[in-house]
Structure 1
């Protein structure tokens, strides 16, 4: 049944054009009524960085080199995951009109929503590269390793899509998942190496980077973009494995529970 969902989606015509159009519309609508418009896509992570920088670098005297960039890349990855998952918990309800009154596959709704978030991600990532390369970059940095960020983002996208499928389909039968997910993401934030030096994180939570796929993505994103070294391939393949397994489970739930969403929500 999972294969039939994917096959049905690939058989449809004009998939890429429709997905990209929906993604652009959603991205624009998100900031349409704000005075600063699309600048909010940049201001949000910058405000987060400013707050954490003051707390950890100035008040707590964090000794991590290039700490602003260290925070920046971590928060970009975290915010993409958070927005993609919390923003899709009720997607089968809020966008019911798309799969009830059009020929859209439910999977397309998820994909287009995450594509919309991807626009903001790449906008912020360009700002990170400009800041790091012109403000905090070290003299021995190699730009070639930065290309590893493309497969790392694919990993992050699949992980976010899989998680979105799981929690939004559980929402069909258990509305409490919204509150549970809010608490879980708060815990996950502080159990990810976003604010702390990597050595302290590993000392406090040995091998936890292999249990937290989001943490592994952040670690490898920093290694490739900031330190100019290849990713930890063992961690890289672990994270991809987690993402694929979760995606299969999410597709299973979409088939079992998503088909009943229109009548239950």
Structure 2
């Protein structure tokens, strides 16, 4: 039962300490063998911004105000989602020792793994704040509406956790979900308003920001961080409902397939 999974996690002792400790270990291991280390996590979005800026602003002339910042926040949000989900597809296999030989609940393992991506995202988001507020010539500056950003990020975290649960549990019975998700990720990338002008995006794909929850999250993040306006409440509510629904599906799969992961993987 789903309630049993949640109840088991809730009753376990020292859960927050374990989650945070595992997240820090996961984050350090991710960059331990890289010579550039954490610097690469900061450098990659900057390099991506440079490439897409040349292609979409200079060559294709999207004519989006503050386009570098526009790209920056869209990319770090999207990259967080892809990193969180792609990095957890094989979680029930790679972290089998944690749930088999320790008292860690599977939910804790998922949360701590995604939380390690939150650490990387935090560095990138700080870079965005510095760039937009101090280097962007057309910046509107800080605003009270910026306080909506944690709410939007919680939405993204729930969506990432839900997708992680779904993908990793499907992996138990279908290993090729990894390749399928790579294709889906590319689809989501090009059908999200990361580098497109929002008006053009909505004209070409009417109401698609409701079909793709990442699109709504990116749109609302720009509203509160760059345009000094409140989020689109209808879109925000829809995205939360979407994420919670997918989380419910993920918990069902964890109950049905995750319990057999140790013997099948």
Q: TM-score range by the shorter chain?
A: over 0.9
Matched with 1:105 is: 105
Matched with 1:261 is: 261
Matched with 2:129 is: 129
Matched with 2:195 is: 195
Cα distance between partner residues in 2 of 1:127 and 1:141? 15
> Does the 8 Å contact 1:137/1:226 carry over to 2?
no
Structure 2: gaps spanning 5 or more residues:
none
Cα distance between partner residues in 2 of 1:258 and 1:183? 24
TM-score, normalised to structure 2's length?
0.98
Shift of 1:62: 2.2
Shift of 1:139: 6.0
Q: What is the SS of the residue equivalent to 1:107?
A: helix
Matched with 2:15 is: 15
Residues 216-227 of structure 1: pairs in structure 2 closer than 5 A: 216-227=216-227
Kindly provide the CA deviation profile for residues 6-51 of structure 1, in whole angstroms up to 9, marking residues without a partner as x: 1110101111111000000110111112222211110111111111
Cα distance between partner residues in 1 of 2:112 and 2:178? 21
Kindly provide the CA deviation profile for residues 85-108 of structure 1, in whole angstroms up to 9, marking residues without a partner as x: 111111100111111111111111
Cα distance between partner residues in 1 of 2:142 and 2:106? 42
Kindly provide the CA deviation profile for residues 214-242 of structure 1, in whole angstroms up to 9, marking residues without a partner as x: 11000000000001100000000000000
Shift of 1:142: 4.5
Q: 1:260 to 1:143 in 2, by over 3 A?
A: same
Cα distance between partner residues in 2 of 1:81 and 1:135? 26
Matched with 2:114 is: 114
Is 1:59 matched up with 2:59?
A: yes
Structure 1: gaps spanning 5 or more residues:
none
What is the alpha-carbon root mean square deviation over aligned residues?
Answer: 1.0
Is 1:79 matched up with 2:91?
A: no
Matched with 2:69 is: 69
Cα distance between partner residues in 1 of 2:258 and 2:88? 13
Matched with 2:152 is: 152
Cα distance between partner residues in 2 of 1:258 and 1:33? 30
> Does the 8 Å contact 1:57/1:63 carry over to 2?
yes
User: How many equivalent pairs are there?
Assistant: 265
Segments of 4+ in structure 1 off by > 3 A?
137-142
